[in-house]
């Protein structure tokens, strides 16, 4: 049963200058809210928030307890997106990953408790599942993360849900699958779509691991932002929910779609499997649909067209192969 809708009064978005965070900020802003942002801008970008009025940006780290106490004053809902993201990055920097994702989340929760904030919407990850035993993936799938990133995101999720049990606080944990879309810049540690788009538009070959027949459930960031706001407005709701498109494609098909969208014939190089990568991914989103009326609206074809257009504007040095 869908929980009853509630008002958001003073939202704080940690990581609000980042890819997903900035899309959440924009949606809240477009709903007429005055939004508070905390971001150290290590991976986020102030440009992502350009043109948004009534958005106050505080530069700082979620591990800074004193700063969290200041920015939490008067806040009722926290969208906690600040994180160190990605399996590969976590394998190379496991201590940083856990300090930011696990300890940072605990400090956010403690600041919320001190300020009397009523709800946290925590950005979790499908990385908490590890190698998949069955498809589609429901929330009750075994949790066996295969990377420090998956472990740290699961630790943050469990801490949020424990605080919801212990204190007068609601916690909704959103398990994102493969998110892509506007404001997602190229990062060598990042997700496959921005890496492929960057290389395609730069005239570089696309590196495809494991033969390319592995599958992924790609979800557009606009749908993810709507999930965040919908979860925040659902009163009396705590728990963990998948956020995905509930469809999947192979990486080889993704290459074809990107090439057709960009009007470029991709050059592909194949490479061995990478540590920490799962073979297949497909989410069951019925729990989120029932709990807060989540419904993905952006098709992969529409989302890729929007993203390629955005990348061409924000990658002035990139050009199609001659």
Do 103 and 63 contact (CB within 8 A), yes or no?
Answer: yes
Task: Report the distance separating Cα 282 and Cα 51, nearest Å.
Answer: 36
pLDDT truncated to tens, each residue of the chain (322 aa)?
455 567 899 999 999 999 999 999 999 999 999 999 999 998 889 999 999 999 999 999 999 999 999 999 999 999 999 998 877 788 888 999 999 999 999 999 999 999 999 999 999 999 999 888 999 999 999 999 989 999 999 999 999 999 999 999 999 999 999 999 999 998 766 789 999 999 999 999 999 999 999 999 999 999 999 999 999 999 999 999 999 999 999 999 999 999 999 999 999 999 998 876 778 999 999 999 999 999 999 999 999 999 999 999 987 655 444 3
Per-residue pLDDT at 187:
79
Count of Cβ atoms closer than 10 Å to residue 244 Cβ? 29
Pairing of strands 215-216, 249-250: antiparallel
Marked catalytic residue, from 149, 163, 176, 180: 149
Q: Which helix (H) or strand (E) holds 233?
A: helix 221-233
CA-nearest of 209, 239, 223 to 294 is 223
Q: At what angle do helices 192-201 and 251-262 cross, to 10 degrees?
A: 40
Per-residue pLDDT at 211:
93
DSSP 8-state secondary structure symbol assigned to residue 273: P
Do 290 and 229 contact (CB within 8 A), yes or no?
Answer: no
320's tokens: 């199609």
Tell me the per-residue pLDDT of 275-301, one tens digit each, with 9 for 90 and over. 767 789 999 999 999 999 999 999 999
Do 77 and 230 contact (CB within 8 A), yes or no?
Answer: no
Task: Report the distance separating Cα 283 and Cα 304, nearest Å.
Answer: 20
Task: Report the distance separating Cα 264 and Cα 273, nearest Å.
Answer: 26
Per-residue pLDDT at 1:
46
Q: What are the structural domains of the chain?
A: 11-180+220-246+283-297 (3.40.50.720)
307 catalytically annotated: no
Per-residue pLDDT at 319:
42
Per-residue pLDDT at 87:
78
Per-residue pLDDT at 2:
54
Q: How many CA atoms lie within 13 A of 275 on its CB side?
A: 8
């Amino acid at each position: 049963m869908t929980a009853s809708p509630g008002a958001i009064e003073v939202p704080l978005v940690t990581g609000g200058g980042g890819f997903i965070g900035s899309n959440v900020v924009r949606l809240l802003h477009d709903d007429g809210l005055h939004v508070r942002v905390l971001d150290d801008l290590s991976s986020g970008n102030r440009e992502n928030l350009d043109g948004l009025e009534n958005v106050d940006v505080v530069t700082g780290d979620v591990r800074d307890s004193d700063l969290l106490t200041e920015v939490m004053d008067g806040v009722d809902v926290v969208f906690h997106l600040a994180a160190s993201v990605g399996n590969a990055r976590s394998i190379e920097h496991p201590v940083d990953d856990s300090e930011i994702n696990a300890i940072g989340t605990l400090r956010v929760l403690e600041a919320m408790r001190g300020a009397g904030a009523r709800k946290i919407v925590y950005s979790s990850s499908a990385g908490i599942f590890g190698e998949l035993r069955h498809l589609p993936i429901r929330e009750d799938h075994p949790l066996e993360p295969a990377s420090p990133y998956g472990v740290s995101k699961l630790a943050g999720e469990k801490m949020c849900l424990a605080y919801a049990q212990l204190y007068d606080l609601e916690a909704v944990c959103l398990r994102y699958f493969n998110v892509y879309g506007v404001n997602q810049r190229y990062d060598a540690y990042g997700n496959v779509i921005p890496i492929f788009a960057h290389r395609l538009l730069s005239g570089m070959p696309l590196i495809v691991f494991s033969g390319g027949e592995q599958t992924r459930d790609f979800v557009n960031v606009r749908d993810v932002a709507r999930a965040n706001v919908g979860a925040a407005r659902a009163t009396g709701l705590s728990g963990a929910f998948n956020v995905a498109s509930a469809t999947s494609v192979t990486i080889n098909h993704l290459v074809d779609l990107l090439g057709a969208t960009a009007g470029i014939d991709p050059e592909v190089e194949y490479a061995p499997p990478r540590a920490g990568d799962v073979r297949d991914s497909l989410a069951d989103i019925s729990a989120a649909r029932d709990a807060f009326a989540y419904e993905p609206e952006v098709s992969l074809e529409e989302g890729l067209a929007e993203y390629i257009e955005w990348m061409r504007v924000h990658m002035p040095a990139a050009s199609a192969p001659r």
